[in-house]
Amino acid sequence: MHRYIVRRLLQAIPIMFGVTVITFGMLVAAPGDPVTLLVSPEQIGSTDIELLRAQLGLDRPLPLQYVATMGALATGELRSFRERRPVIEMIPEALAPTLLLAVVSLVLAIALSLPIALASALRPYTALDHSVTVFSLLGISLPGFWFALVLILIFTDQLGWLPASGIRPIGTTGYTPAVLWPYVIMPTVVQCLTILPFLVRYARSSILDNLAQEYVLVARSKGLSQRRVLIRHVLRNSLIPVVTVLGLLIPALLSGSVIVETIFAIPGIGRLALTGAQSRDYPVVMTTTVLGAVLIIVSNLLTDVSYAFLDPRIRYD
């Protein structure tokens, strides 16, 4: 197992290099000058553009700019063009709301998907199973921003129960649950609804396959209760496809937070990346992209490693 993990980490090095090179190339090739975007139109004539460009290091050849950017990123000294402070200080501030929403929505989706999938698989092709199938297909087909707009229309505009923007009241600090809960309900529900249908579909299919296996008949013939057979045997063997989907959905959940955080005006990592891209803030975009790439690599590695714990027959050494 240790050799496998080391080998995967070594394989990630060229992947990260490719991600940074492609991202940097797309940034410099994209239309728009970050220097002119930093200066208001009224001040362009009175501002020394070339001096500002030299201060930001944009007057050097592109290979030197890339090397300097990655060196500063590795040492934590990479500074935002707009904020003029290290990006490493901006990331924790933006990452906290994103992680809060992601963890809550993920736990909620897992807690709901397994019972729904189990109930659907135990009664295949019934009204309950068809209802779950329709719900899953609708959830997969409809975009997340549609759910967000519908929730805002109902619970903010019509009922006035929940705030439509922000992560906490203006002027407050910290993440006290009593203060946060009205602000996180709708974003959490939206993110949960974007991943719940996938988990339900894959879990239902896997449970159906395992229910038809011979070991289930053997377990029942030994006198084991239905609950023990389902929990200790069927559910455990059905988790590998679910874990695989989770490994793909967790990075997508964080990267897809751009839409949710923009609609609900949440100062998270997705909104930070979007703002950085719009203002051509190269350091912010590079940092958030590297963070996303690391998340995907780690998520895939943890997914593969978890297979060995779910199924003892799987070995990597």
pLDDT, tens digit, 9 for 90 and up, residues 54-101: 877 888 888 888 998 899 888 888 888 888 888 888 888 888 888 888
Angle at the Cα of 181 (from 175 to 186), degrees rounded to 5? 120
CA atoms in the 13 A half-sphere facing the CB of 109: 30
pTM: 0.81
Q: What are the residue ranges of helices labelled H in the chain? A: 2-29, 34-38, 49-55, 62-75, 87-122, 127-141, 144-152, 177-211, 214-221, 226-228, 236-255, 257-263, 269-278, 282-310
Architecture of domain 100-279+290-310: Orthogonal Bundle (1.10)
Question: CB–CB of 202/241 below 8 Å?
Answer: yes
Residue 95 has what DSSP assignment?
H
Q: Which two tokens stand for residue 174?
A: 């910290």
Residue whose tokens read 């496998």:
4
Residues 6+ apart with CB under 8 A from 191: 101, 102, 105, 144, 253, 256, 257, 260
Q: What is the pLDDT of residue 274?
A: 85
Q: What is the pLDDT of residue 48?
A: 65
Cα 32 to Cα 37, 41, 61, 276, 281: the distances in Å are 8, 14, 18, 13, 11
Residue 19 has what DSSP assignment?
H
Residues 6+ apart with CB under 8 A from 205: 241
Rounded mean pLDDT, 276-291: 88
Where does the chain hold its CATH 1.10.3720.10 domain(s)?
100-279+290-310
Q: What are the residue ranges of helices labelled H in 58-176? A: 62-75, 87-122, 127-141, 144-152
pLDDT over threshold 80, residue 2: no
Band (240; pLDDT cuts 50, 70, 90):
confident
pLDDT over threshold 60, residue 45: no
Please indicate whether residue 41 or residue 239 has the higher confidence score (pLDDT). Answer: 239
Residue whose tokens read 């239905």:
226
Q: How far apart are CA 260 and CA 279, in angstroms?
A: 20
Mean per-residue pLDDT over the chain, rounded: 83
CA atoms in the 13 A half-sphere facing the CB of 87: 27
Closest by CA to 288, choosing from 104, 73, 116, is: 73
pLDDT over threshold 60, residue 47: no
pLDDT, tens digit, 9 for 90 and up, residues 195-219: 888 889 888 888 888 887 777 777 7
Question: CB–CB of 194/139 below 8 Å?
Answer: yes
Residue whose tokens read 């070995």:
315
